Structure 1
């Protein structure tokens, strides 16, 4: 009853609530009858029309971030600067300083729950990760600023856990589904441009998570803050590792595109990535390099994770399977083309 009463008299704040995962989360909260505040840079008139309180601001505006925390009971911190390339300071400003501002605002205004969207790449160690669990240490050496800064942010979120502000970090891996603006569109664009190659032998297994399952996990994590989840991180996936290049080729073939058959060794891809990084850094290019050392490793190595902790502590059980989600995605792309 106390939890219900708090929800009736306060807001739930979603940072990045106009993004792929954030919007799904906002829609689910509205369906539950929750009052929602969104902090983001892109206005969403459709959400405003449904009663969402929108604060147009960036995470690097501490005053706006603090104001957004007023009369809030739960924060879902989904927003981040993502990408595999860019200036470290830009990632640090949003992912670390922005998260610190949100923690400070939560403490100042008496926010009770803090659900942080992290990433499995916070445990990047340059090696294959098979059935990896949460005992892995956070990375301190990665050739990409995104995992480095997200690792710092996750560490600080979990360190902030207390009886007054209960925190949890979720690590969803490769979020995808209908409406995905990042993962699948990038695969299709590169394939159609003839710029996609199988890195390594093409047998690496990778975990992914459908956006609806990732949304479930966030809502479950909020409820589990009354129990063992407080102060802990959790990997979140579909629990069905796929052979990455088989899945990509299945998708391409179903959409009438030729499958990827050309290979490049991991060593060659890493060397090309290092060269690209040097050129982009020296020439101060703002675009993303076609290859980096981090991308090469991600495309060639195993990345799949143990869901034991999430199942035990959160009650997490993926509802939408890889097969069902893939079929839905293929049908959607075909409808768009038609």
Structure 2
């Protein structure tokens, strides 16, 4: 996978499942990687990345972390279904605004944002969904609401001193997963899994290597002269407002 001669990259949330896999791939491609996280992750240091410990809600800290970076992969987020709205807002929205501001201040030109399909899901089944779907008019939780706000801000900044792109991976699984498949297996062993509906429901999952490849392709696209994959697979423009599919 070519990285368009990328020399340096900052990965927020680089100690998480997706962030760590992305960090590993970037290092293997010869990119100098700095990881921004709330903790010092031994796995990150073992890979050879630089680790900066701090809070994404601290603009001064984010500014310092951003210095000298060529591409930013903003993976960090507070995910979940329950919890106080202000906690989701402070991390997912304020944190993202800090990343955008720091990119502009430090003249970082490329930002790849890890979003979620939750921004278009309002409880109705989605089949053959693509980037043309509007944001959900009634998001199902604080996580989805705040990711909508953050994604809008990221995409609205495109070509305003910064090139931005958003990726929406769904239910990521694979080596290094400590959440999705392990929890399903544990619940299965406990006998606590419940069948929803007819038992023939389908849901799309995304393999971790494909998620990483999508991030690298997005960065390559942003660094290139054309729009490339963004026209077809990824989102560079703010979707229209309105209700989701009914």
Q: Which of 113, 118, 127 is matched with 1:116 structurally? A: 113
Partner-residue secondary structure (3-state), 2:151: helix
| Residues 1:310 and 2:226 are matched in the alignment | no
Q: Which of 220, 223, 238 is matched with 1:223 structurally? A: 220
Cα distance, 1:139–1:33 mapped onto 2, change above 3 Å:
same
Partner-residue secondary structure (3-state), 1:206: coil
CA apart distance, 1:163? 5.4
| Residues 1:189 and 2:196 are matched in the alignment | no
1:174 aligns to what? 171
Report if the CA contact (8 A) 1:85-1:145 is conserved. yes
CA apart distance, 1:139? 2.0
CA apart distance, 1:189? 2.4
Which of these two proteins has the greater Rg computed from alpha carbons? 1
**RMSD value, Cα:** 1.9
| Distance in 1 separating the partners of 2:119 and 2:75 | 15
CA apart distance, 1:93? 0.5
Q: Which aligned segments of 4 or more residues in structure 1 are displaced greater than 3 angstroms?
A: none
- The CA deviation string for residues 167-204 of structure 1, in whole angstroms up to 9 with x for no partner, is 00000011001221111122122222332111111222
| Distance in 1 separating the partners of 2:202 and 2:46 | 43
Cα distance, 1:185–1:108 mapped onto 2, change above 3 Å:
same
TM-score using structure 2 length: 0.88
- The CA deviation string for residues 45-70 of structure 1, in whole angstroms up to 9 with x for no partner, is 34335442211012122211111111
Moved more, 39-48 or 84-93: 39-48
Report if the CA contact (8 A) 2:9-2:34 is conserved. yes
Aligned residues: 230
| Distance in 2 separating the partners of 1:69 and 1:216 | 23
Q: Which of 79, 88, 93 is matched with 1:91 structurally? A: 88
- What does 1:37-186 correspond to in 2, within 5 Å? 37-162=34-159, 164-186=161-183
2:242 aligns to what? none
Report if the CA contact (8 A) 1:140-1:148 is conserved. no
| Distance in 2 separating the partners of 1:208 and 1:119 | 12
Tell me which protein shows more helix as a share of its residues: 1
| Distance in 1 separating the partners of 2:37 and 2:114 | 15
